[in-house]
Structure 1
């Protein structure tokens, strides 16, 4: 059953899967392999092409439950035995899945009570992925039996070097409003609060007569009508519960496998990109032996920047250890409204970018492009057109490159930190989804992406770090749209700044606590006024702009920048604060904001804070950060045309340089480069510089 106290503050020790070479080391390379979707006559050709591409690992049997257990009393492992043996003898390690991401149709037919339920009571029917409730005792029983049988059969198989539990938990069942979920939510609340009156206090249940007198009266926040607004405190707790419920289910699967074969590392694939935050990965990262992620590119000019931002957070979840990219695409996907393909050189550039940010294994979905099914037009390593294709040639080129980097000793090196950290919190992201805020156009994660890109535009590469982890060693810490902050968080910030740190806080940060209670006394109110004291500001109202007939939909600042959504009406600043910019102009006068402080700098203890009290677009944000007033935000200012990342070893470092531009750029070789391992889409010019084309990259080694 559901365990509300699953997990702990302790992390599982980092363990990395071996490859099937003499040393067991090197960079992993491969992808999801679904041989059960093809005739066996194709398998030998798959192995031939894998060797040609230098594939050395595959994820196997992710959605193969119905082939492994075709009916309740029939088990078939023979086909899996044969393909694992073929792969292993070819030197290809297997990351074996628990096969439980989706159940066979016979299970759904026999036990429809395992199906999730949407907020309006609609049953999520079978036929896609993850059509199951994590709180269903019936589904758990069947799933754990599959885990047990797989572990007993393959736990000692030398070709199986890692376990892949589940798949993208929360993709189709991130929330569930079923009776099972309701029972588990009541248990979760009992464990979290102890006394039902504490629930009423946390949820502000006196509003709209929502108080409960026993835990048995607690309901999940189902659909309450088109105009009804869910209690934001309860909704935030329910979202936390849903993440915990999925994590508990994963841990049950993991523990069955680990009890039988404890010597092989176990992971599951996260889904970290700046368009999604299904579960609290900071908590999940403690429960895997190595962090894995699936990342799919954002088309357009933000492609590389978004990838770097997402990867930086994955590296943060991995706590500096190497991580595994379990899925990305060779070219276009099939699940977006517009599915752009990758341009020439992007396959290599993207893979190297993941490596630069800490990935020691690069894998695609999937090996061979499907002929049928929902993902038939999702690109793959072997496309529909076969091996004599641009995509497969680039797949082979990437395999050679990863072999070179692995042989050079890249595996196990660590990403060199920046001196700037942008903090991430799942609670903050979930809180910005509330429909009861001054505007519904907030996103903590998108705010992080904008700050990350703005910093790149002035030549600063930041790290993205989970709020719950250690960030005190950074010189500058940035909080974008971190709507919810606990008192303990604010005290931690105060100690950081008092001891000499620098903190940048934006307009929608620190308005509510972890229970979604508004801090009183003026904005931002978190920490009982401590956050206001640190920032040296006090606001009374929030001015929201939008497309309202006859009203200005922007406000200008005295520094030439423009705000288009949100302005905090700051009515007082500390005597020792400096107003960096204020609202100014005809629009400001119309909105009664003329002269109101917009950006404020304030000394606090041995450090200082910056308060950006309004939204700014990317260009304006970059101009503010790059201005003289922010001149000390970072000492690592570089060339904004590039993303530069280093991975350090005891014997030296690997230097990665990526062209951010859509046109060629030139760079002088760094004198510290002892060896240039790769020049991707580059050319040497007569003056000794290197020209990087669009999607160009350089990987070099520095000597010690």
Structure 2
């Protein structure tokens, strides 16, 4: 069974009929059918229209919308409408709005403003979700449930008294009592010893740096607090509509939420992705996020929001040039999405997103944007057989949210220049250029199926990697602290010491703009005074105070880099050869992605590229047989199904 009961690939977008007179709805349905739309997301921000006053529901307009969708063969991704509380709820209960770290309660007037810990907000959310489920449980348009919207986008945390009480309950479950918390947080430092958990507050603005262990637990708590809201709605939907799958839209690689934990609570993963058309390398970063989406549950996922052209929230909102909407959409399919959805269907006339592009632009059907919509709909119908397919990767990148939160804690690190996304991309980009499939993985997952595992950074590390027997690469500043952000006995790399065969004597962060020569290249940002124990030295620092000191080492099949290299290619090529991992050879700017029996080749450049196909096959987009060397037009793609 696919993500939903809808066959083939999903195609459509956010539909906001409440922004338009009802006479427009008929035209919407006709044009959706013409474009091949088979799903629409509805009611995401409709709470104030569905419940205009406490306990008084107005479902009539939504009834008519769902009826129209069904009449035209379009399924509904039905939101529970709980993403933004209505003004009457905020005025009756001001405490539902979040409070900043400086003690300022935020005001109503935007979207997604709420305190995640508010019991009042939670009660009303659950009540509305139940009303929606009971109302539409038997409606034939209902294909999936959409809970909330982009959790942690506008509200990740709240520092009010209710949040403080919730935080203390969370801490009590984790540490039992003040003694357990004191031991975990190291409160003997700076005189922070607690005698009762009731004395603990959120990490509000303080005179100086806040305890990094407290900040780490706060990050964990904030992710969990929002997840509790999601779970509360899911419980209602599961009880009333047990056969209908539920999801919520992620935001690619988001710092604030532990998506490994969140994905486990969903029936399938969905994502919102908005690569910048003005950035010629944006397709690499978004490919990394798509691979995360595929890896979260090791199954197909859904691109639930993307932009047909320009967005509305950057400093400069560049449009997508001809061909890019289609290319970006096919890229998501290549990396495992079972559909392409957009924000939004009809371009808004008012509000903060009135200049955000849409499938049906302001200019209507005479526009380039509408022609792009028609072309993509036709292409997706040709690619229907791709839905449900899933490929295997031989390489994995390790991503751990606890480690990420600890690494980027403010004001307490040897350098604030280590950013996990940058570290991931430094390894992912050359793998992507080689057409090598990559999974992302938490350190505790079974890694035995991978030939090569790369951990660009594991600041917070246990012994999860100790049993891995494949080719392993570990980046700098790893194995530093335990789960409580306390430095491992004996220093770094802690539990990785025996595996890597090295010890770190001292961190050696490099000032901005400084490069340190290393055999075969140069390092930036970070270096270490490294002491080999029983590891072979592969490269040494040259010049300066680290002259002659080991920079890169290997013990058995485990390679350790004590620095950030300007170019990881030499090391990567070496470990790929040792692991016997091969990719697909393509020219620069062309992306090669295998999805099961299908090979996607995507030309992200504005020039024609010549590509040699690895096998003879049928291009599903043109229904032609291809083999040998072909020309791939600018921003064009082929989807090759092998002919045996």
Q: Which TM bucket (shorter chain)? A: over 0.9
Query: Does the CA-based 8 Å contact 2:480-2:491 persist in structure 1?
Result: no
Query: Does the CA-based 8 Å contact 1:481-1:508 persist in structure 2?
Result: yes
Q: Paired residue for 2:446?
A: 470
Give runs of aligned pairs for residues 233-272 of structure 1, distance below 5 A. Answer: 233-272=213-252
The C-alpha deviation readout for 1:288-307, integer Å capped at 9, x for no partner, is 11111111114412222112
Distance 2:433 2:550 in 1: 25
Range that drifts further, 139-148 or 91-100: 139-148
Q: Paired residue for 1:301?
A: 280
Give the secondary-structure state (helix, strand or coil) at the position aligned to 2:170.
helix
1:555 correspondence with 2:516: yes
1:574 correspondence with 2:570: no
1:611 correspondence with 2:587: no
Q: Paired residue for 2:482?
A: 513
Query: Does the CA-based 8 Å contact 1:317-1:466 persist in structure 2?
Result: no
1:445 correspondence with 2:421: yes
The counterpart of 2:608, out of the listed 664, 682, 700, is 664
Uncovered stretches (5+) of structure 1, i.e. residues with no partner: 1-13, 20-24
TM-score by length of 1: 0.88
Distance 1:199 1:115 in 2: 29
1:646 correspondence with 2:594: yes
1:423 correspondence with 2:384: no
Q: Paired residue for 1:231?
A: 211
Distance 1:351 1:513 in 2: 41
Distance 1:459 1:62 in 2: 37
Give runs of aligned pairs for residues 301-450 of structure 1, distance below 5 A. Answer: 301-319=280-298, 321-406=299-384, 409-414=385-390, 416-435=391-410, 436-450=412-426
- Give the CA deviation at 1:569: 0.8
Distance 1:250 1:371 in 2: 31
Q: Judging changes above 3 Å, is the alpha-carbon distance between structure 1 residues 411 and 55 closer, same or farther for their aligned structure 2 residues?
A: same
Q: Paired residue for 1:677?
A: 620
- Give the CA deviation at 1:537: 1.5
Give the secondary-structure state (helix, strand or coil) at the position aligned to 1:387.
helix
The counterpart of 1:533, out of the listed 489, 498, 506, is 498
Q: Paired residue for 1:120?
A: 102
Give runs of aligned pairs for residues 626-645 of structure 1, distance below 5 A. Answer: 626=573, 628=574, 631-641=577-587, 642-645=590-593
- Give the CA deviation at 1:629: 7.0
The counterpart of 1:215, out of the listed 197, 205, 208, is 197
- Give the CA deviation at 1:185: 0.6
Q: Paired residue for 1:701?
A: 641
- Give the CA deviation at 1:400: 0.8
Range that drifts further, 444-453 or 232-241: 444-453
1:455 correspondence with 2:431: yes
Distance 2:431 2:641 in 1: 26
The counterpart of 2:171, out of the listed 185, 189, 196, is 189
Give the secondary-structure state (helix, strand or coil) at the position aligned to 1:229.
coil
Give the secondary-structure state (helix, strand or coil) at the position aligned to 2:553.
strand
The C-alpha deviation readout for 1:533-561, integer Å capped at 9, x for no partner, is 211222211112224xxxx82211121x1
Q: Paired residue for 2:630?
A: 690
Query: Does the CA-based 8 Å contact 2:500-2:560 persist in structure 1?
Result: yes
Give the secondary-structure state (helix, strand or coil) at the position aligned to 2:379.
helix
Give the secondary-structure state (helix, strand or coil) at the position aligned to 2:365.
coil
Give the secondary-structure state (helix, strand or coil) at the position aligned to 2:398.
strand
Q: Paired residue for 1:8?
A: none
Give runs of aligned pairs for residues 114-153 of structure 1, distance below 5 A. Answer: 114-153=96-135
Distance 2:132 2:164 in 1: 32
Distance 1:386 1:65 in 2: 29
Q: Aligned residues, how many?
A: 640
Q: Paired residue for 1:4?
A: none
Q: Judging changes above 3 Å, is the alpha-carbon distance between structure 1 residues 468 and 95 closer, same or farther for their aligned structure 2 residues?
A: farther
TM-score by length of 2: 0.96
The C-alpha deviation readout for 1:609-660, integer Å capped at 9, x for no partner, is 111110123xx1224323x576324521332533322222xxxx12211235
Give runs of aligned pairs for residues 272-283 of structure 1, distance below 5 A. Answer: 272-273=252-253, 276-283=254-261
Query: Does the CA-based 8 Å contact 1:679-1:697 persist in structure 2?
Result: no
- Give the CA deviation at 1:679: 5.4
Query: Does the CA-based 8 Å contact 2:347-2:358 persist in structure 1?
Result: yes
Query: Does the CA-based 8 Å contact 2:347-2:357 persist in structure 1?
Result: yes
Q: Judging changes above 3 Å, is the alpha-carbon distance between structure 1 residues 629 and 270 closer, same or farther for their aligned structure 2 residues?
A: closer
The C-alpha deviation readout for 1:543-601, integer Å capped at 9, x for no partner, is 12224xxxx82211121x1212110111x2134x32221111xxx32xx1100111112
Uncovered stretches (5+) of structure 2, i.e. residues with no partner: none
